[in-house]
Structure 1
Amino acid sequence: MTARGGLSDAELARLMNEMREGPRPTAPAALPASPAHDALLSFSTLPRFAELRTQSAAAEVLGIENPYHRLHEARAGAVSRMAGREIVNFASYDYLGLNGDPRITRAVVEAAEAWGTSVSASRLSAGERPAHRALEEALAGVYAAEDALAFVSGHATPLAVLPTLMGPKDLIVTDALMHNSVVLGAQYSGATRRSFPHNDLDALEAMLARDRDHFARVLLISEGLFSMDGDGPDLKRLVALKQRFGCWLMIDDAHGLGVLGRTGRGLAEHQSVDPRGVDIWFGTLSKTLVSCGGYIAGPSALIAYLKAFAPGMVYSVGLPVPVAEAARTALAILLEEPGRVAHLQANSIAFRDGAAAAGFDVGTSWGTGIVPVMVGETIKTVLLAQKLLERGINAFPVLPPGVPDRSARLRFFISAAHRPEHLDAALYALREEGARLGIVGF
């Protein structure tokens, strides 16, 4: 199919993705020996810089605004302000509406006054602070784990952990839709890497039956709640498979914590599975816990090993105390106020069912926190997001290769702080603009 401006949908998807990511790194060309090499010192001479200009020109011809890196002029929760006007925001991970909660802000201020804004160096060399241990004890409690460990970056956590645990004699098997951080961590580990079709545990079982005995250690990895599709795996069966074939099991619960389960304890609570059946729980502090960083929860031997050998712990600065206290306080509120979780889940179901009733394809979403509206074509997805924003609704377009070809979508993050009128306004605008673009019923 050819989109506007003579670009195919695949070409347009690539263009929009490169607008988001910028030019790909390339090997630098050898500099000439003559003084003329000074002309190459301008960054505008980099091999793919011209593509940036081409992309901007093509987007202008197509009437597309760059949807990436938009400026927010207020705290971006259920509502935000962009270009001087208030918008309803569906592009925030603040699932429980805790960002800016006075209790969290007060804890951050008190921590900064007492401890400053840095712990100066890695925890191995500069030592730990009580906030580190308090946060990790609370995180371990969520998963009934023996211990936990907090890292300064959620994305960097698997990059530090997987190469520390796995090597060339080992196998890492992931869901095909696994998050980029896990994919990169698996690549850096040097282990053999395989993937199975999304949530297809029959395929996983067949793969293990065929290949398990060829490797020393095997690590299975899936997500508690997939951020692009809003669904998740059958955890009980994953635990059974890892026990049958003698594997470790790791679950990325970054989007599950605070969203899934009666009290927001994640996938294990959602499916009534003993969380101790999972060897490695991975998550982030930047979503429900409205802070920044990542964490691992599991057996004490695992945590001791990572503290001693994981590069992201040994060579990286520890969490600033205010950051750790923000996450710990948010986690305490989550556990003390399960009504927030119930409200989030009710909002999510209402929005998913409303979109489906209007004729939109919501994929396999469970209707908990994340609701995709499947569009298919890149051009229509970007235009739909643009039309919604013009009407005060901010929903982010997700395009290939971030999702499989022909499955471009708008991704709606639902919050406990969204009011009924927010959901109604979004659904109303979605119906009207979707009809104009011929998207309903895709």
Structure 2
Amino acid sequence: MIEIGNAFWNETEQNGLAGIVADLRPDGRLITASGHEFVNFSCCSYLDLDSHPKIIDGAIEALKRFGVLDHCISRIRLQLPALLELEASLSSLFRARVISAISASAATAGILPILASGYLTGGVRPTMVFDKNCHFSMNLYKPVCGDESLVVTCPNNDVNFIEDLCKSHQRVAYVTDGTYSMGGHVPIKDLLALQQRYGLFLYLDDSHSLSIVGEHGEGYVRSEMDEVDPNTIIVATLNKAFGTSGAAIMFGPDGPEVGKILERFGGPLAWSQPMNTAAIGASLASAQIHRTPELAQRQRRLQENIELFDRLVVTEQAGNKFPIKLVTIDDSRVVQCGKTLYENGFYVSPVFFPIVARDSAGLRVMLRAGNTSEEIKRLCELIREFVS
């Protein structure tokens, strides 16, 4: 992986598409020290909330209120009242019991080994089924889970494969993304049916759809459920469309008890690294924005931009209402295409193995609510010129 991937990264760096240093201007464009201006089409802040004045002010006000950036002590022993205030706010917003973490990756590192141990499945160690396309942050813990239970890799979104395992194993836990980082959703309705029939445990990272889907930005997976089942855990970063920092872990009715176990035994969740004060204050402000009509307005603008791009450039992700689009380009040309776009004022990440499968390179276009129609049209014009 390193041998193949590093060759691409070296080419990317040599062509000035990695390690770029730039300041963000008030109009949303970026500018380098040499004066080169460009629009960033490789940003996960899909609703452009990360630069929202209320979120910036929320971070500053929290720092002033509590007078400390980070206590640097496990929350088991000591925590700021603002952390509990945030979790109560997110619990109300997402209609689930929510506890926070410093990142979604830290949440995964803390939860998956406990899940594999059988503690969350009635003392029965579940067969751990990892989707082939689930994010590296989850796949990374296959060996750790393998110390506790049987680990199996499942073809992407293969419901029949999962059901066959449910029929032949006492308990099964399925680990995957709710919305994949290269586009597409998990077949949540089918999985919920398996959950009702066999007690399938679902561990879903829905980081890429949080805020952009749902009346209150609860994300794709949560918006498809009436309530969070006791056999479901949903993890989502707050660093993307939510516009702040940290992560939310959504539980069902057993949330308080499970949360306590994770705080005591969940690896990074038990260490001295909770969300810092600025992140908490910013997240409280974002949660308030999520309760106003502004959320729907930004969601609608994002969808309009997605639809515009889909009309102008054909991708496999066209029509899925998701802001990431992969424009397939041959391995030998993808970096040069990215360089041409950058020279013309648009930064779009070239992606290659191991980010995507071998021989499946392309440009990963990431759309945002703040992109203007003129920017999108010009970007699409340049892309069409290059791939024609």
TM-score class, shorter = 0.7 to 0.9
In the alignment, which residue of structure 1 is the partner of 2:272? Answer: 316
CA separation in 1, counterparts of 2:141 and 2:89?
A: 26
Contact 2:203 2:232 (8 Å CA) reproduced: yes
CA separation in 1, counterparts of 2:341 and 2:39?
A: 10
In the alignment, which residue of structure 1 is the partner of 2:351? Answer: 398
In the alignment, which residue of structure 1 is the partner of 2:300? Answer: 342
CA separation in 2, counterparts of 1:200 and 1:247?
A: 14
Counterpart of 1:149, as a letter, is: I
1:73 and 2:31 equivalent?
Answer: no
CA separation in 1, counterparts of 2:322 and 2:20?
A: 26
Contact 1:260 1:269 (8 Å CA) reproduced: no
CA separation in 2, counterparts of 1:78 and 1:245?
A: 49
CA separation in 2, counterparts of 1:365 and 1:282?
A: 25
- CA change 1:221–1:412 in 2 (3 A) is same
CA separation in 1, counterparts of 2:301 and 2:113?
A: 39
Gap regions ≥5 residues in structure 1: 1-9, 20-55, 436-442
1:155 and 2:105 equivalent?
Answer: yes
In the alignment, which residue of structure 1 is the partner of 2:178? Answer: 224
Q: How far has the Cα of 1:137 moved from its partner? A: 1.7
The structure where helix makes up a greater share of residues is 1
1:389 and 2:342 equivalent?
Answer: yes
CA separation in 2, counterparts of 1:84 and 1:227?
A: 32
Q: How far has the Cα of 1:66 moved from its partner? A: 5.3
Q: How far has the Cα of 1:283 moved from its partner? A: 0.7
CA separation in 1, counterparts of 2:111 and 2:350?
A: 31
Contact 1:374 1:410 (8 Å CA) reproduced: yes
Gap regions ≥5 residues in structure 2: 119-124
In the alignment, which residue of structure 2 is the partner of 1:16? Answer: 7
Q: How far has the Cα of 1:64 moved from its partner? A: 5.2
Matches within 5 A, 1:4-403: 13-16=4-7, 19=9, 59=11, 65=15, 67-74=17-24, 79-82=29-32, 83-115=34-66, 116-125=68-77, 127-145=78-96, 147-167=97-117, 169-189=125-145, 190=147, 191-210=149-168, 212-213=169-170, 217-228=171-182, 230-268=183-221, 272-277=224-229, 279-298=232-251, 299-336=255-292, 337=294, 338-356=296-314, 361-363=315-317, 366-375=320-329, 377-403=330-356
Greater Cα radius of gyration, structure 1 or 2: 1
Local SS of the residue matching 1:430: helix
TM-score by length of 1: 0.78
CA separation in 1, counterparts of 2:113 and 2:134?
A: 17
CA separation in 2, counterparts of 1:332 and 1:350?
A: 29
Q: How far has the Cα of 1:135 moved from its partner? A: 1.6
Contact 2:107 2:268 (8 Å CA) reproduced: yes
In the alignment, which residue of structure 2 is the partner of 1:434? Answer: 387
Local SS of the residue matching 1:379: coil
Counterpart of 1:164, as a letter, is: I
CA separation in 1, counterparts of 2:360 and 2:318?
A: 13
Local SS of the residue matching 1:315: coil
Counterpart of 1:274, as a letter, is: D
Q: How far has the Cα of 1:12 moved from its partner? A: 8.5
Counterpart of 1:171, as a letter, is: T
In the alignment, which residue of structure 2 is the partner of 1:50? Answer: none
Local SS of the residue matching 2:333: helix
Q: How far has the Cα of 1:311 moved from its partner? A: 1.6
CA separation in 2, counterparts of 1:266 and 1:194?
A: 27
Q: How far has the Cα of 1:178 moved from its partner? A: 0.6
Contact 1:268 1:274 (8 Å CA) reproduced: no
Local SS of the residue matching 2:140: helix
List 4+ stretches of structure 1 deviating above 4 A.
10-13, 75-78
CA separation in 1, counterparts of 2:2 and 2:260?
A: 48
In the alignment, which residue of structure 1 is the partner of 2:121? Answer: none
Provide, for residues 64-85 of structure 1, a one-character-per-residue CA deviation record: whole Å limited to 9, x for no partner.
5153332223269953224522
TM-score by length of 2: 0.88
Local SS of the residue matching 1:378: coil
CA separation in 2, counterparts of 1:149 and 1:273?
A: 19
Counterpart of 1:87, as a letter, is: F
Q: How far has the Cα of 1:139 moved from its partner? A: 2.3
Identity of aligned residues (%): 25
Superposed CA RMSD in Å reads 2.5
Q: How far has the Cα of 1:90 moved from its partner? A: 0.7
- CA change 1:371–1:262 in 2 (3 A) is farther
- CA change 1:73–1:379 in 2 (3 A) is farther
CA separation in 2, counterparts of 1:370 and 1:253?
A: 14
- CA change 1:232–1:261 in 2 (3 A) is same
Counterpart of 1:202, as a letter, is: N
Contact 1:218 1:248 (8 Å CA) reproduced: yes
- CA change 1:140–1:16 in 2 (3 A) is farther
Q: How far has the Cα of 1:179 moved from its partner? A: 0.8
- CA change 1:76–1:158 in 2 (3 A) is farther
| Mean CA deviation greater in 322-331 or 257-266 | 257-266
Contact 1:261 1:268 (8 Å CA) reproduced: no
CA separation in 2, counterparts of 1:95 and 1:134?
A: 26
Local SS of the residue matching 2:362: strand
CA separation in 2, counterparts of 1:363 and 1:101?
A: 29
Provide, for residues 14-39 of structure 1, a one-character-per-residue CA deviation record: whole Å limited to 9, x for no partner.
3335x3xxxxxxxxxxxxxxxxxxxx
Q: How far has the Cα of 1:257 moved from its partner? A: 0.6
CA separation in 1, counterparts of 2:227 and 2:198?
A: 19
CA separation in 2, counterparts of 1:434 and 1:411?
A: 14
